[in-house]
Chain A
Amino acid sequence: MRAAALWSLLWLDLRLAWRGRLFAVTLALGAVMAGAVRIFAPAELGGAHELEELAAAWAAEGGRLTTLRPQAQAMTLQARLVPAVICLDVLVVGFFFGGVMLLQEKALRTLAAYRVSPGGAGLYVTSKVLVNLLMALLYTALVLVIVPPAGASIGAIAGVMGVVSLGSATCTLGGIALAAPFRGLSSFFYPAAVASMVLSAAVPAYVAPAFATEGMSWIRALPTYQAFFALCELLGPGGRAGVLPGFLWISGVGLVITAALAWWLTARRVMQEVA
């Protein structure tokens, strides 16, 4: 019965997201971002030839060359930008959408109709997470079609989808939890913008990893930071075997915390507010 109820609620949320153009916005954003990467980011390895010559000259002079991560593959800028494009939507926009879906229903007072039905906070939150998850997976698939990852195996692509799923669920739940105390979109906007800026702090750390050191090491605890490097590792092996377990650990803990918070705030605050 609960599975049938979840399916029913999911079908409702899918229609609301579709007619609210959330799918269209998500896919358009994916097409624009991935298209820009495909067109403007170089697909060749710049400077690789010079590096090889330099290494040969160094060896000829008797120098000793030590490779820190021999299994690492060089990535083109285009390939390196793909994880960033994926994370932008899945984590930052997904975070916004989670809150927006909740606040729209508060504003329309449709939550009151739901509140007096046999549904419950758990079912309500789960449905929202699944809708955002579907959008995140479609977005990721679109990005990977427009900028195909060279040499990535089916397993790696499945891994990317797994990372996206975990990240999307965590961020949607975070968005719902953050939006729960607010009455409308306008009051939610500023806290959400601040939270999105914090999540986006992983971008400079991904582009220049040294950014996340010297007092900025907290960035490494962000799910976005872990997701960036986990995706990068899946799409172009960099020999950093610890990245994926690190992502799973941090995101797993984040998922449990945000799920508990989102459920608790929805049950104790949002569902009571309709009175």
Chain B
Amino acid sequence: MIEVEGLTFSYHGAARATVQDVSFSAPKGSIFGVLGPSGAGKSTLQKVMIKLLPLQVGAIRYGGRPLAALGREFFADVGVSFEQPNLFPRLSGRENLTCLLGLYDREHDDPAALLAALGLGAAADQPAGEYSKGMKQRLVFLRSLIHRPSLLFLDEPTSGLDPATAELVKQMIRDRAASGVTVILTTHDMTLADQLCDTVAFLHDGSIAAMASPRALKLRFGERAVRVERRIDGRLTQEVFGLEAPEEQARLAEALRSPGIETLHSLEATLEQVFLKVTGRALT
């Protein structure tokens, strides 16, 4: 479990704090998503949590112990997947995966099995410099897992991946969480967050604007609606009716009584819409 309490971080010379009074906790085995557009403070928050930036104000506890009191044992327990692939281009995929393993005094996964699981088995002995962007992304993700960390920081893990591979990555993340690994997912991909996260925090201008499970957020902030497709005078028309206001409900009832209905779709709010409603700002 990792707990963050009242975390505030300012870069030297900056007029305002990049991260302001952020508090949350991610229990063991949960997937916690930090969502927000570029510049919201996601990366800064993650960097403070993995000790790449110093803790200025607030407290972070991992396993009940203050982060500041943890040394190498913290890094031995952590896996980090960076958004920008950072590999040794002259080393093979297999070598990149295993080259830092000797620094960890713990059991690790079978490199060949991991590579095969994400479709890199055939390219395992090929120099990583010859990999495509997606292959590099997969390898960086696998490198964060191989030493069996208990706390996993993932920054846009499915960025640049085809849908099939992205699904494999998502399943691996779910499996790790199910085995007790705490996952901190940083992304602006609301679909990914919706599919994976137990809890999401919307980060807006450095502060948490809303935090709950994706379903709870959608129920609380989303607007339920129905889209009706009708053929009127030979032309196909579409109308959306909200389910909240009585007058909208009456209009929907009237539409349903009319002839020519071709399709009916229930429209659930997306996390993206919820984010826009909560922060007044789009994600991209």
Which positions in A face B, CB cutoff 8 Å? 1, 4-5, 7-9, 11-12, 15-16, 19-20, 108-110, 112-120, 123, 272, 274-275
- C-alpha gap A108/B90 in the complex (Å): 11
- Contact residues in A for B101 (Cβ distance below 8 Å): 8
Q: In the bound complex, do residue B103 and residue A15 qualify as a contact, i.e. CB atoms below 8 Å apart?
A: no
A119–B103 Cα distance when bound, in Å, is 6
A108 and B86 contact, CB distance less than 8 A: yes
> B102 interface residue, CB < 8 Å from A?
yes
From residue 86 to 115 of chain B, which have CB atoms closer than 8 A to chain A? 86-91, 95, 99-105
Determine whether B256 belongs to the interface, using a CB cutoff of 8 Å to chain A: no
By the criterion of a CB under 8 Å from any partner CB, how many residues of chain B are at the interface?
27
Apart from the given pairs A108-B88, A113-B143, A275-B52, 17 other A-B contacts in the complex at a CB distance below 8 Å: A4-B105, A8-B100, A8-B102, A9-B102, A15-B99, A16-B88, A20-B90, A108-B87, A108-B89, A109-B84, A110-B86, A110-B87, A113-B80, A117-B104, A118-B75, A119-B100, A272-B52
User: Are B88 and A110 in touch, CB under 8 angstroms?
Assistant: yes
Whole-angstrom distance between the Cβ of A18 and the nearest chain B Cβ: 9
Q: What are the interface flags for B42-78 relative to A under an 8 Å C-beta threshold, 1 for contact and 0 otherwise?
A: 0000010010110000000000000000001101101
For chain A, what secondary structure do more than half of its interface residues adopt (helix, strand, loop), or is it mixed? helix
B131 adjacent to chain A (CB < 8 Å): no
Q: Is the CB of B52 within 8 A of A274?
A: yes
Partner of B103, one of A9, A19, A20, A272: A9
Shortest CB-to-CB span from B83 to chain A, Å, is 11
Q: Which one of A9, A15, A110, A112 has the highest number of Cβ atoms from chain B below 10 Å of its Cβ?
A: A110
Residue of A110, A114, A116, A123 with most chain B CB atoms under a 10 A cut-off: A116
In the complex, what residue of chain A is closest to B149 when comparing beta carbons? A116
Contact call B76/A118, Cβ cutoff below 8 A: yes
B78 proximity list for chain A (CB < 8 A): 116
Closest to A110 in B: B86
CB distance from A120 to the nearest CB of B (A): 7
Query: A16-B88, A109-B86 in contact; A4/B75 too (CB < 8 A)?
Result: no
Alpha-carbon distance A19/B87, docked complex (angstroms): 14
Closest B residue to A109 by beta carbon equals B86
CA distance A123 to B103 in the complex (A): 10
Distance (whole angstroms) from the CB of B144 to the closest CB of chain A = 9
Contacts of A16 in B (CB 8 A): 88, 90-91
User: Quick check: is B221 within 8 A (CB to CB) of the other chain?
Assistant: no
Known: A19-B91, A109-B84. A120 touches B72 (CB 8 A): yes
CB-nearest residue of chain B to A4? B102
Among B52, B95, B103, contact of A5 (Cβ-Cβ < 8 Å): B103
On chain A, the residues within 8 Å of B90 by CB distance are 16, 19-20
27 sample A-B contacts, Cβ–Cβ < 8 Å, listed by A number:
A4-B102, A5-B102, A5-B105, A8-B99, A8-B100, A9-B103, A15-B99, A16-B88, A20-B90, A108-B87, A108-B88, A108-B89, A110-B86, A112-B86, A113-B82, A113-B143, A114-B100, A115-B52, A116-B75, A117-B103, A118-B73, A118-B75, A118-B105, A120-B72, A123-B103, A275-B47, A275-B52
